Amino acid sequence: MLPKKRSPTHPGKMLLKEFLEPLNITQKDFAAHLGWTYARLNEIVNGRRGISADSALAFADAFNMEPEFWLNLQRDWDLWHATQQHKRVKPFGKFKRRGGGMGKLMYA
């Protein structure tokens, strides 16, 4: 669930504050470990670059965790910021589900 009054934590800030700093790993050392440039990692840490599937896999491997953790952080960040700019669109006609529940969507 997305926070209502503040933006979610950017994955780069999470990486820095919850992983690198507590483990006393520098950005330079972590970038070298991943085979990345310092600039690429630093852009993620500073919120100027998002988490791609590739970077999620790399972080997951490095910290022995699931890549979905990183992708979910990025999804929440992106969705919250998009929501701040979004202009609502009225529903297109009336829809109902065949058989109720999660049945096939039908135009009424």
Nearest in space to 51 (alpha carbons), one of 6, 12, 81 = 12
Question: 96 lies in a domain?
Answer: yes
- 5 found inside a domain: no
- Is residue 59 exposed (0-12), middle (13-18) or buried (19+ Cβ within 10 Å)? buried
Write b or e for each residue in 63-74: b if 16 or more Cβ atoms lie within 10 A of its Cβ, otherwise e.
eeeebeebbebb
pLDDT in tens, the chain (108 residues): 766 778 899 999 999 999 999 999 999 999 999 999 999 999 999 999 999 999 999 999 999 999 999 999 999 999 999 998 989 988 877 777 776 666 676 666
- The CATH number that applies at residue 50 is 1.10.260.40
2 is a domain residue? no
Q: How many domains in the chain?
A: 1
pLDDT of residue 101: 65
Q: Please give the residue range of the domain that contains residue 21.
A: 11-107
Per-residue model confidence (pLDDT) at position 53: 98
* pLDDT for the residue numbered 11: 98
Residue 51 corresponds to which amino acid? I
Residue at 84 is within a domain: yes
